[in-house]
């Protein structure tokens, strides 16, 4: 059964165990899904209220995108584990001879590219979610505005956690063009996403105050 389909207790027990997965990537995906769900809660509390009738269509659109992100992040809990499995096996390859060393290095690089693809996608989805929170913080129901703040904090954490999981896999990759491309994208997502998340949290705190 998929990790994302099990109970929270099971997920946390596995996360805390010495099992190789789930790890930081899976936790980032799950945390991001939780954060996105909080924004959708605010959206659902906004729809149907006369006070917010002028933004209802936009909120519904945000809700639709939010559900897509939640579904995507939930699936990536398992995708992260699946992508890591070949890399875990590659670390156990022999390296007694020069030929074995070369084969192991090549295999590690190939598997590392696959392994980092999931946390990089988690970063992309977390960034999308942060952008939705930015707008939800501006137009969402004041009755649950604090939950926009909670959600964006979760998504910023998911963004940062996924970033670390990309970084740790870059070390085994010698393909400079690939490394530069990934580094450029993840830094942009991290910097812009972090800035928007901080601004959104500040907005929420200002509205509460």
Domain contains 3 = no
- Tens digits of residue pLDDT in 147-178: 999 999 999 999 999 999 999 999 889 999 99
The parent domain of residue 145 ranges over 21-208
Among residues of the chain, what percentage have pLDDT more than 70? 97
Q: What is the CA radius of gyration of the chain?
A: 20
pTM of the full structure = 0.93
- For residue 44, what pLDDT band results from cuts at 50, 70 and 90? very high
- Tens digits of residue pLDDT in 63-92: 999 999 999 999 999 999 999 999 989 889
Q: What is the average per-residue pLDDT within 37-53?
A: 97
Domain contains 6 = no
The enclosing domain of 85 has a CATH number of 1.20.120.680
Which of 153, 125, 93, 144 shows the shortest CA–CA distance to 25? 125
Domain contains 1 = no
Report how many domains make up the chain.
Answer: 1
CA distances from 119 to 37, 93, 165, 188 (A): 19, 24, 6, 15
pLDDT above 80 for 4: no
Domain contains 182 = yes
* Inter-residue contact 104 to 95 (CB < 8 Å): yes
In the predicted model, what is the mean pLDDT of the chain?
94
């Amino acid at each position: 059964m998929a990790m994302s389909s099990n109970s929270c207790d099971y997920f946390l027990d596995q996360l805390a165990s010495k099992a190789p997965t789930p790890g930081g990537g899976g936790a980032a995906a799950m945390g991001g899904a939780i954060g996105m769900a909080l924004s959708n809660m605010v959206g659902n509390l906004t729809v149907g209220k006369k006070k917010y009738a002028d933004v209802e269509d936009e909120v519904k659109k945000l809700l639709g995108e939010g559900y897509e992100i939640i579904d995507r992040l939930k699936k990536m809990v398992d995708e992260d584990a699946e992508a890591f499995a070949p890399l875990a096996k590659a670390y156990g390859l022999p390296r007694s001879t020069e030929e074995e060393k070369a084969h192991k290095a090549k295999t590690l690089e190939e598997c590392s590219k696959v392994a980092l693809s999931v946390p990089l996608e988690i970063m992309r989805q977390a960034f999308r979610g942060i952008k939705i929170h930015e707008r939800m913080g501006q137009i969402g129901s004041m009755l649950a505005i604090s939950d926009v703040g909670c959600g964006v904090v979760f998504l910023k954490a998911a963004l940062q956690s996924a970033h670390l999981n990309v970084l740790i896999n870059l070390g085994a990759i010698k393909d400079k063009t690939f490394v530069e491309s990934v580094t450029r994208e993840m830094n942009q997502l991290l910097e812009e996403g972090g800035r928007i998340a901080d601004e959104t949290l500040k907005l929420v705190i200002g509205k509460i105050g």
